[in-house]
Amino acid sequence: MKRLVLASGNAGKLREFRALLAPLSLQVISQAELAIAPAEEPHPTFIENALAKARHASAASGLPALADDSGLSCV
């Protein structure tokens, strides 16, 4: 089974991604399980922050990583 790091500490997101990716034989591991500290999120967009988090988790783990940054917005 291939492993994938979820660059998030959110238990709900971890459950969702595990369920979504299980049919593809992907084992989703949280960055916390690998003792990876959260990445900085200094960017102005959700996309840039998600990329920063995924790149950070991948570099720290040596595994492919996935991140989601849906954030909160006020208009």
Catalytic residues: 69
Separation between Cα atoms, residue 36 and residue 68, nearest integer Å: 16
Separation between Cα atoms, residue 41 and residue 35, nearest integer Å: 18
- Determine contact, residues 55/44, Cβ cutoff 8 Å: no
